Amino acid sequence: MPQKVFNLPDPHCTSDKYFEYTKSLRQEKPPIIIDNGSSQCKVGWATNEKPRMIFRNLVAKQRGKKEGETQIGNDITNIEVVRWLLKSQFDRNMVMQFDIQEQIFDHIFSHLGITTDGCVDHPIVLTETPCNPPMSRQLMSELLFECYQVPKVAFGIDCLFSFHYNNKGEQSQNGLVISSGYNTTHILPILDGRPVPREVRRINIGGSHMTSYLHRLLQLKYPAHFSCITLTRAEDFLHNHTYIAENYHDELKKWIDPEFYENNIHRIQLPYTPLPGNISAGSGKLAWCETIVKRVKEMTLKRKMERLAEHEERLQQMINAQELLEEGEEDNFVRALQELGCHSAEELQLESNRLNQQIQKAKNLKQESSEPTRKIRCVEVDLRRFSDSETWIAAVRKQWKELRESRLSRHRYQKTEKLPQLFDCEGNPVEAMDEVSAEDSEDEQDKIFELEEIIAEYNREVNNKSGYRSEHRFSLNIAEYYQLHLGVERMR
């Protein structure tokens, strides 16, 4: 039975369209429906069957932007880069930051095409949280009436709208509404079509907490793909790959069964660089050895470019964190420091400078590597020094072993306390080794990676040509290595 693999969606959002403010809209003046959720905002005319706009209810002002220029909702193309700059008008599920709410309203009315200066001559239907404090509703009313000159405003609760819409024609108007929002969950008993305010309950758990929990579960399960498992992707997994277990403990027992596991697991494919295809059997040994070197060279370049993109994204995050400190947002700055793994502003500045130097060096190497004369840096790979493939691959293996042992010995030393004098196994004194910088470590890792790939490709081609496959030989599928398996996490 072939395994079904799910691909990741495109993380980049499409900016909201600017709609035309037609003559009929101007004359008929239909109400504007605004579902003002703490996660998403949905907007449309009352005459529309579906919302015209659905966007994240967030605002971000990036470093280097002009004064007052902000990104709102779907205009934020990559939310992970500006995550620490994100601002919301909500405190949990209540609107408290009305300056941000005003920016959201400006975004809504401008995209709906309303061209009347300083006046929105349409009634507004706006959702709010159950048992919203009177002060919050009063400030919201002042904003709409005084700033936008709206003629009428009607407030309502989205889950009650849903209850009445889905119970049309029913004789009984009694029920229990469980409204699970982004930050909170509300429980509303309905009697004779009306909620009972005294019996409404709020639980401070919502979709954001489920996303954070799934995010931590997957990062602990796949530490090798720690940076690839972002909050945005975890939120997509939550919406598209999870389900509610009717009986949690019974469902856990089902996942023990291998057949149930194989039938219900969701495999998520992360981005990766595929291995090139096999070499034609008609070429000579040294010729296909040269092709192997060329193939590995291309893989190394792709690896460097992926690492360069990661470094640039991390540098942008550090710049955004520094901006938080400049704007006096100390709480957000401390949280950003913890996310980046730094302990102080000075350490953040040093790390930012070091990362910037690495990026500049990588860009310079990128320009040099575009030349056709570029060779893999290890001398043992140069085929012109050898007359047969066996001697060449033996030299490559020797160089790989030496580099690997050198790196392991250096790591062992770094994990031990530095003694005034070190001795080898025979009692002879040896000099202490210096710690290796992150930049030198990456260069060394690239060398080892190149040699490992050459050896693996050589072994693969030799086995393919001879028609021999050892029972103990492990055939690595690079795509499977970059897969996340969502099993019991789907309902945890």
Tokens of 8: 């990741």
Tokens of 191: 């009697």
What residue type is 106 in one-letter code? D
> Which one, of 476, 2, 80, 482, lies nearest residue 268 by Cα?
482
Tokens of 70: 């902000």
More confident residue, 391 or 114: 114
Using 50, 70 and 90 to split pLDDT, how confident is the model at 470?
very low
First to last CA, the chain: 27
Q: What is the pLDDT of residue 368?
A: 57
Cα torsion at 190, 191, 194, 195 (round to 10°)?
-40
Q: What is the pLDDT of residue 162?
A: 92
What residue type is 259 in one-letter code? E
Is 255 a residue whose pLDDT tops 90?
A: yes
Say which residues have a Cβ less than 8 Å from residue 171's Cβ, sequence separation at least 6.
none
Kindly state the average pLDDT of the residues 468-475.
40
Residues 278 and 280: their CA atoms lie apart, in Å, by 7
Q: What is the pLDDT of residue 347?
A: 86
Using 50, 70 and 90 to split pLDDT, how confident is the model at 430?
very low
The per-residue pLDDT for range 226-247, each reduced to its tens digit, is 888 999 999 999 999 999 999 9
Phi, psi of 173 (to 5 degrees): -110, 30
More confident residue, 301 or 70: 70
Q: What is the pLDDT of residue 218?
A: 95
Q: What is the pLDDT of residue 366?
A: 60
Tokens of 443: 């260069």
Residues 130 and 188: their CA atoms lie apart, in Å, by 9
Residue ranges of the domains in the chain?
A: 23-156, 169-203, 210-273+484-490, 285-416+434-483
Which three-class secondary structure state does DSSP give residue 485?
A: strand
The per-residue pLDDT for range 157-167, each reduced to its tens digit, is 999 999 998 88
Q: What is the pLDDT of residue 178?
A: 95
Region of poorest pLDDT, from 174-188, 272-286, 461-475: 461-475
More confident residue, 95 or 462: 95
Is 434 a residue whose pLDDT tops 50?
A: no
Is 288 a residue whose pLDDT tops 70?
A: no
Q: What is the pLDDT of residue 274?
A: 65
β-bridge pairing 153-156 and 124-127:
parallel
Average pLDDT, the chain: 81
Residues 71 and 63: their CA atoms lie apart, in Å, by 12
The per-residue pLDDT for range 60-103, each reduced to its tens digit, is 986 655 555 788 999 988 888 888 889 999 988 899 999 999 99
* HEC per residue, 26-39: HHHCCCEEEEECCC
Tokens 């280097």 appear where?
Answer: 64
> Which one, of 243, 176, 191, 249, lies nearest residue 214 by Cα?
243
Q: Considering the entire predicted model, what is its pTM?
A: 0.64
Say which residues have a Cβ less than 8 Å from residue 247's Cβ, sequence separation at least 6.
none
More confident residue, 370 or 196: 196
Q: Which CATH class is domain 23-156?
A: alpha beta
Region of poorest pLDDT, from 397-411, 433-447, 472-486: 433-447
Highest mean pLDDT of the ranges 11-20, 135-144, 398-407, 441-450: 135-144
Highest mean pLDDT of the ranges 80-84, 171-175, 255-259, 361-365: 255-259
Is 49 a residue whose pLDDT tops 80?
A: yes
Kindly state the average pLDDT of the residues 313-340.
83
Is 373 a residue whose pLDDT tops 50?
A: no
> Which one, of 464, 459, 475, 463, lies nearest residue 289 by Cα?
459
Give the residues across from 154 on adjacent strands: 125
Q: What is the pLDDT of residue 44?
A: 95
Is 29 a residue whose pLDDT tops 80?
A: yes
More confident residue, 136 or 291: 136
Q: What is the pLDDT of residue 133?
A: 92
Q: What is the pLDDT of residue 21?
A: 93
β-bridge pairing 266-269 and 5-7:
parallel
393 contacts 402 by C-beta, under 8 angstroms = no
359 contacts 315 by C-beta, under 8 angstroms = yes
Q: What is the pLDDT of residue 224?
A: 84
Q: What is the pLDDT of residue 132?
A: 92
How many CA atoms does the CB half-sphere of 421 hold within 13 Å? Answer: 4
Q: How many residues does the chain have?
A: 492
